[in-house]
Amino acid sequence: MFGKDRFQFESPNVVDPGEMPPSAPTRTGRSAQQDRTVSPPETPRTPERRIINVSMEYGDARDSATHFLKDVEVSPTRGIVTYTAETFHDEEEPLMEGDAGDTKLNTGLKHSVKFGKMYPESLSSNSSTSSFSLSQPSLRGQKGEAGGWRRPSRRGRKLVIPDRSGNHDNMYGGGSTGVGEDEPGYTRKLLLFFCLAPVVLLFLAIVPLSHLIRQEKKEQDPYHGRTNERYISERMLETIDMLVDTGVSDKVALSVQGTPQNLAAKWLADVDPLQYTIPSPTLPPDESYHFIQRYVLVLLYHATGGNKTWHNNLDFLSEHHECSWYHSKKFTDGGVYAMGASCRGDDLQVTDLLVPANKLKGRIPTELVQLSHLELLSLSHNQMTGTVPDLSRLSGLKYIDIGTNKLTGSMPAWIDSWSDLKVLGLENNRITGTIPESLASLTKLVTLDLKKNLLKGSIDVINSLTGLEYLYLGQNSFAGFVDAELFLADVQNVRELDISNNLFYGDDFPMTLLKRPHLQVMDVSANALRGSIPPAIESNSVLEVIEINGNGFTGVIPSSIQNLENLKHLDMQMNHFNGTIPDHFVNLRHLTYLSLGENDFTPGPIPAFLSSFTALRELSLARTNRVGKIPGWFDIMSNLKFLNLQANELEGSIPEEVWALPNLSILLLTDNKLNGTMPSAAANIENFQILSMTGNDYVGEADTLCNAAPKMDAFSFDCALITCTSECCNACCKDYMSSLDSMSCYSKQLMNALGQDQRTWEFKYRSTAYSFSPAILHESDNVNEKRAPTGGTAAP
């Protein structure tokens, strides 16, 4: 049983998703190079000398070991300079002898040159000791102790050992040089700082930006950029296996990077905050349902554009349970509807999936069939493409609306699988072919909307749908004979019927439709129906809308039309009715729309009974042989928005009462005999949008009038008689009596504004907006109606 009480919904606490997966192992191993510790060999200090180990940087400062040896000179005041090295190459060079007694260079020294650099043994794979040491007597307390040691200058080729005072003699010309002067190490550091500083700053700017980009891409693909197999987690592999073994998705689709199936599986396996336990494929379907259910909803999100196109994400891919992936929306009837995915009952199984008008793009995924408890599905008013997928296993479906998309293909033959279906909306797509015979099995169908497609053929199968109340077949290529008494004879409960703009034909007015006890809307316009309206129309207080325009009906309009006492919308234009316009229309006091244009009525004035239609919003008497003057009682029709009196024999001036109509926005007076001077000002003209006065004898200047109407989209006039320089004067007709010029006079802008002339109606009949309307869905069965849920997010 349906009803408001059934759909009370409280967002459940999130079910324990199961054990959290084991944390990913961390790497503890280090490379041999990282673990290797390089330290110079220890040399014991003695009172006679101290040992100073020279780092690799010293060796880098020399061009070659050979030059280094040749450049060494020792001041007489210094001690012994000793160099010991392990030979890296077999090649040897003669060694230098020092000055007698004061300084000596150890003989037997072996050294090597490798690419012009000295390479200490500490960096060699062979572990043997290599050291360069400078030895001198201990001179504690003397000033030389504070002088320290200075690296050799790259400018000189000599190793200069500082004296005790911290100064030294320049070997190339003498002079005193402080430690801070011409210090190559300091200079290199300074240059290095200025070189690296911009790089570091640039790095600090790029890192946050790249992090944001990666984070955005991760939302779509948590493995973005990782195509190597080693990046696929064990949980991802288990997810793929589970979805393949249970027949949910194809293995190829799950494995190929970037497919909607692949992205959904990755999110579920590695990103989903709830981290559902991956069920075993051998478990009963009920125990794996929630995992599959969440996967299907994530798949729908990715398959239809996701964060690239969705106008509102409706809390999809949030940390909440998937039954709370919706926003609530309150309608004027007091009902609260969950736009998104929602559940009924304690089993937390998605029953309603409503994502209309949310800029979805792509194909409808076949995996939706896994939502076996789904009852309501709406993806209408989006940009979905492809064919209708096989959703035959959704046997519990009661409502489906996938209209106003770009779907192609034919109506599926398996449609009889939806035996409980009450609403089927495929309108405004590109569906071809005929209505399948299997449609006859949908005996519970209440609403069938197939309008604005490319369908053709007979509609006889619809006679089997005896429970139909709302039938929309307009703007297709359906064909067949309309029998005046037997047309859709078994569909007696129909409330709204639209077969307009098709290829139906008949010789008699379909009087049987006027006898339907519940019929409120009858639209048979733009077909090839003929005949006359029978004189005896029974009393009917239900019918509100009659659209019979664009056919070949003839004869007089019977006075019994007044028996349609609740009629609000009557469109009889573009037929061949004749005789006088009956005064009996006066009893149709609820009329808000009346179009009698383009018929063969007997010439006469504008009927006076129209003055009693104070609720009238739109009136068309175009091409109805009206003569005389425009009456002044139009001011009574204060609700009038559209007035079309084109192509008649009206004369005189336009009364002030017409200019003063407070809501008038479209006034069409083309091709009459009206004359006078354009008014310099007119009250309430600021609402005017279209004014057409071509083909009359009005003169004067229209700039003031035009400027007083800021909403004016189009204004056509005879430029030989009326002057206007304002931008709204955009259709100047030089000689409207010329047939060629009369065609060009209606500029493209004017024609667009008119909306193909007669069809610009503010109150033009439109199919009832049955989507999410309880009255249309199931009458008393208010499907999807809930009280304000706590688990979702209120729509802004």
| Dihedral angle over CA of 731, 735, 741, 747, nearest 10 | 0
- How confident is the model over 85-104, as a mean pLDDT? 40
The pLDDT score that the predictor gives to residue 138 is 40
Confidence grade of residue 707 (pLDDT, cut at 50, 70, 90):
confident
CB 399 within 8 A of CB 422: yes
Q: Which residues pair with 159 in a beta bridge?
A: 72
Phi-psi region of 782 (alpha: psi -120 to 50; beta: other; left: phi over 0): beta
Q: 525 or 75, which is more confident?
A: 525
Tell me the mean pLDDT in the region 231-254: 93
The 10 Å CB-count burial string (b at 16+, else e) for 478-489 is: bebebebeebbe
pLDDT at position 493 over 80: yes
How much is the pLDDT for 295?
98
3-state secondary structure of 412: coil
682 falls in which pLDDT band (50, 70, 90)?
Answer: low
Output the pLDDT for position 64.
41
Per-residue pLDDT, 281: 83
pLDDT of residue 214: 63
Q: What does the pLDDT read at residue 159?
A: 38
Mean pLDDT of 269-274: 95
Nearest to 747 by CA among 734, 759, 737, 758: 734
Tell me which of 292 and 217 has the higher pLDDT. Answer: 292
Residues paired with 457 in a beta bridge: 478
Instruction: Return the residue matching tokens 């005389």.
Output: 628
Residues 6+ apart with CB under 8 A from 402: 364, 377, 378, 379, 380, 384, 388, 425, 426, 429
Q: Is the pLDDT of residue 536 over 50?
A: yes
**pLDDT over 60 (residue 748):** no
Question: What average pLDDT score do residues 79-84 get?
Answer: 40
pLDDT in tens, 26-44: 333 334 434 433 344 444 4
Q: pLDDT band at 522, cuts 50/70/90?
A: very high
Among candidates 463, 468, 428, which has minimal Cα distance to 444?
A: 468
Query: Poorest-confidence range of 192-201, 211-220, 250-259, 299-308?
Result: 211-220
Per-residue model confidence as pLDDT tens digits over 559-600:
999 999 999 999 999 999 999 999 989 999 999 999 999 999
Of 481, 530, 472, nearest to 501 (Cα)? 472
**Cα-Cα end-to-end distance for the chain:** 32
Of the candidates 434, 496, 495, 486, the one whose C-alpha atom is nearest the C-alpha of residue 463 is 486
- pLDDT at position 681, please? 63
Rounded to whole angstroms, the Cα distance separating 67 from 349 reads 85
Q: Write down the domain spans for the chain.
A: 4-18+222-421, 190-220, 603-766
Q: How far is CA 704 from the centre of its chain?
A: 45
Does 114 or 622 have the greater pLDDT score? 622
Q: Does the structural domain 4-18+222-421 have CATH classification 3.80.10?
A: yes
C-alpha 91, offset from chain centre? 75
Segment 86-105 shows an average pLDDT of 40
Cβ burial, residue 8 (10 Å; 0-12/13-18/19+): exposed
Higher pLDDT: 418 or 286? It is: 418
Is the CB of residue 318 less than 8 Å from the CB of residue 325?
Answer: yes
Q: Which residue has the higher pLDDT, 541 or 757?
A: 541
Q: How far is Cα 510 from Cα 81, in angstroms, rounded to an integer?
A: 124
What is the distance between the alpha carbons of residues 321 and 361, in angstroms, rounded to a whole number?
A: 25
Q: Is the pLDDT of residue 17 over 50?
A: no
Tell the CATH superfamily of the 603-766 domain: Ribonuclease Inhibitor (3.80.10.10)
Residues 607-624, mean pLDDT to the nearest whole number: 94
Q: How long a stretch of residues is the chain? A: 796
Burial group, residue 296, by CB count within 10 angstroms (0-12, 13-18, 19+): buried
Q: How much of the chain exceeds pLDDT 90, in percent?
A: 52
pLDDT at 22 over 70: no
Instruction: Write out the H or E segment, with its range, that includes residue 477.
Output: strand 477-481
Predicted confidence at residue 336, as pLDDT, reads 76
Q: What mean pLDDT do residues 57-66 have? A: 41
Of 690 and 436, more confident: 436
Question: Whole-angstrom Cα distance, residue 599 to residue 576?
Answer: 5
Helix, strand, or coil (residue 357): coil
Q: Tell me if domain 4-18+222-421 and domain 603-766 are identical in fold.
A: yes
**72-76, 147-151, 188-192, 786-790, range with the lowest pLDDT:** 786-790
Q: How confident is the model at residue 97 (pLDDT cuts 50, 70, 90)?
A: very low
Q: Is the pLDDT of residue 104 over 90?
A: no
Distance of CA 503 to the CA centre of its chain: 37
Q: For 176-204, how does the pLDDT look when each residue is reduced to its tens digit (9 = 90+)?
A: 444 444 556 777 777 777 788 888 888 78
Residue 77 has a pLDDT of 40
Q: Is the pLDDT of residue 342 over 90?
A: yes
Q: How confident is the model at residue 733 (pLDDT cuts 50, 70, 90)?
A: low
Q: What is the pLDDT of residue 708?
A: 77
pLDDT band of residue 232 (cuts 50, 70, 90) is: confident
Residue 155, SS3?
A: coil
Looking at the predicted structure, is the pLDDT value of residue 498 above 70? Answer: yes
Residue 517 or 154, more confident: 517
Backbone angles phi, psi at 422, to 5 degrees: -115, -30
Mean pLDDT of 389-418: 96
Computed over every residue of the chain, the mean pLDDT equals 75
Alpha carbon of 327 to those of 14, 23, 319, 338, 398: distances in Å?
18, 34, 15, 6, 22
